[in-house]
Amino acid sequence: MAHVTILDYGAGNVRSIKNAIKVAGYETRDVESVEDIHNASILVFPGVGTFKQAMDFLIRSNYLTALRDYIQANRPYLGICLGMQTLFEASEECDEHKGLGLIKGTVGKFRDDQLAVPHIGWNGLNQWKHSALFSCLSVPATKAEVYFVHSYHVLKSEKNASWVLTTTNYGDTEFVSSIQKGNVMATQFHPEKSGAIGIAIIKGFIERLSCTPNHDTPINQVVARHTVLSKRIVACLDVRSNDAGDLVVTKGDQYDVREKVTDGVDSVRNMGKPVNLCERYYQEGADEITFLNICSFREQPIGNLPMLKVLEACSEKVFVPLTIGGGIRDYVDNNQHTHSALDVASQYFRAGADKVSIGSDAVYAAESYYTNGMKLSKTSSIETISAVYGRQAVVVSLDPRRVYVASFYDEKAKGHTVVKLSNPGPNGEEYCWYQATVRGGRELRKIDAVKVAKASQSMGAGEILLNCVDMDGQKAGYDIDLVHLVKSAVTIPVIASSGAGTPQHFIDVFEKTACDAALAAGIFHRKEVSIQNVKNGMEAAGIQEYRLHPLAKELYMKEAIAILLLSDLNGSTKRITQLCDVLEASGSPLDAIIIAGGFVDANVIPNYETEEAQSRAEGDMTALLSRLESLVCRVIYVPSENDPPTTKSAVVHPPHLTPFSVNCFYAEEKLKTDIFVCGESREFAYCEEDSSGYAMRIIVQSQKPARKCIMQCQQMDACQAADATLEKQSILIVGGPRESVRKNAIVTGMRQ
């Protein structure tokens, strides 16, 4: 049996990749010297953390040259996450070190003004080459979802295209999600955290020699889809010792975990054994599993061997991300030995955790952050752990309580963010702010949840787990106002928690807020609601419909005009090909397409290096546009001011219209309908009315702020009849957050 050699640079959960390889049927050994790299028959370099930490390790251990030589010799190599990024020339994350330089390109950071960063969760793949990596999959790679957790990415370019195996979309960014050339393979995603799909990918890599002869050859016709990050369902296990000292899963009612019995004696509510429940949730389809050691503030975490044993046992059978929370702090033990939060986190990572959740210590750190004028101390638990393991490994768990006040201007709420509640409090209260707590919700602090969340992000947290003491155990639904408030305040992912009682509660929080995941505990423990029931409900509601049918949807509306706006195509044959594929798959239901801005004429294709390439590009575009025009009743070309002259349209902009208004003007003129209003907004998919009182629809595609969009609506004198037919007909809205789209609009494809 072939042994797989693991190059462990000391950061993150390496136990899981070893366990995944074992499940695939193979044994592992660690690299302990340069000779181990030279002698390896199969080498795996897994990694989470930072580019600097990984390169520091390779240089310090004198592994850099040996690793480069191994890969250049086309020997079997699988890099995971950082194990892929280090193959490139450099990273924006680290100016101090260059990468291995084996592949052209620089690792860049996702823009957090457009996306929640890190990119965390399950996403799809577009495959560009045949590969042994996917030879053991039970489904095509393009129908699989795999787990990502990263802030940095690599873009496909002409210089690295020969290496690109798959790409994935996050918002408008298409990044390289795996590479391959010969026996050298690497993934940005984590196969060891991608369930059965990931195990099959690992098996395919190890057994690559038995693959088909077309391994590593381009796929002739790639039908690329716009992959979309899924909303995650997280199963939570609240863990603590019972009165007999056994570690059990429990569940609280507003954070009270003790059962009340008739004889006056109470006991810890016991919901089952942690390892058994964890394995059950994995089998039932949980996207992630979280352990919260709810009494850890009383304990010494380094000595918490039962919790470490639980993690070790779970990682042998559970191959989705595991988060552990509780007791992540600096402390002095009974022997007067000092232990740092980083020490505690490191033990959890080595035991099988992928992320650590910091609770009380994050609140204390946030208080210090504001006291010191919003300056980073570089000593907080958040900062020290994220510096080594990366932002994506640090979750901050907040446990706020509502503090009811009379109004936005109540003196009792001075200095805090007040919200008007969508559902009144138990005594009819209409306003509140959310007070941070520590010690499992037992102790109130003066700081509010919004400030803690903002400070946590500044200090290096990669995710917020947002609980609510008032909603815990009530099964009345998530606190939508709290989730919306905190999600709007940060650019990192937010997990909604506390209050789920039915599948509809998950649907509500995803439709009414932009949260990235939703967590539940008690209803899953008691089997009142299954994880699959939740996912089925979400699919029926359209929350997860892109998982099975990412673009091709039924677009017909009775007695409605369906219009699609495309903007900023910039001569992209890929986008137009994608659109044609969607139209064919969905029966070509569009009445019209407005191509607004972005040159799309073969005569204005940008100059290529050779005449042959130029001619080929012009021919491709001509064929594509002919195909598009054959699928749709009307295709209308509307150039923007910055576009070069185009033979598709000799239109001159009316001088009284802004560039924004041009599209509206021609939509009315060409379609003879006055319901079409286009705009540039990421925040909202419609606005109620402009300053003149005219209700208008906005079609969303670009990234400009909503405020500018509304200002531009006020200038649209060419569209003042919009309200006359707004209630009679509907249009197609493309892109934008689902929760802001009115019910009588159709949403499809080309998502932001």
Please identify every residue annotated as catalytic: 81, 190, 192, 238, 399
Contact between 356 and 308 under an 8 Å Cβ cutoff? The reply is no
**Is omega for the bond preceding 118 within 30 degrees of 0, making it cis?**
yes
Report long-range pairs for 364-373 (Cβ below 8 Å, ≥24 apart).
364/438, 365/455, 365/456, 365/459, 366/436, 366/447, 366/451, 366/452, 366/455, 366/456, 366/459, 367/445, 367/447, 369/455, 369/458, 369/459, 370/447, 370/451, 370/455
Tell me how far CA of residue 178 lies from CA of 96, 98, 337, in angstroms: 25, 20, 44
In angstroms, the CA 78 to CA 46 distance is: 8
In angstroms, the CA 125 to CA 170 distance is: 11
Tell me how far CA of residue 221 lies from CA of 128, 129, 164, 225, 577, in angstroms: 9, 10, 15, 13, 11
Contact partners, residue 713, CB within 8 Å, separation at least 6: 677, 679, 687, 690, 696, 698
In angstroms, the CA 312 to CA 320 distance is: 14
Q: State the Cα torsion 477-478-482-487 to the nearest 10°.
A: -140
Contact between 366 and 447 under an 8 Å Cβ cutoff? The reply is yes
In angstroms, the CA 585 to CA 749 distance is: 12
Structure tokens at 749: 């494809």
Q: Nearest-CA neighbor of 392 among 13, 667, 735, 656?
A: 13
For 575, what's the count of Cα atoms within 13 Å in the CB-facing half-sphere? Answer: 18
Structure tokens at 388: 């080594």
Sign, CA torsion 585/551/623/700: positive
Q: Nearest-CA neighbor of 260 among 271, 250, 270, 269?
A: 269
Report long-range pairs for 160-167 (Cβ below 8 Å, ≥24 apart).
160/88, 160/103, 160/104, 160/105, 163/103, 164/128, 164/129, 165/127, 165/128, 165/129, 165/131, 165/133, 166/125, 166/126, 166/127, 166/128, 166/141, 167/125, 167/126, 167/128, 167/224
In angstroms, the CA 183 to CA 43 distance is: 11
Q: Nearest-CA neighbor of 381 among 364, 367, 398, 406?
A: 364
Q: Nearest-CA neighbor of 686 among 740, 748, 723?
A: 740
Q: Nearest-CA neighbor of 287 among 197, 350, 226, 201?
A: 197
**Which DSSP string do the residues of 476-531 spell out, in sequence order?**
S---HHHHHHHHHH-SS-EEE-S---SHHHHHHHHHHS--SEEEE-HHHHTTSS-H
Contact between 702 and 712 under an 8 Å Cβ cutoff? The reply is no
Phi, psi at residue 251, to the nearest 5°?
A: -155, 135
Q: Nearest-CA neighbor of 384 among 447, 304, 347, 330?
A: 330
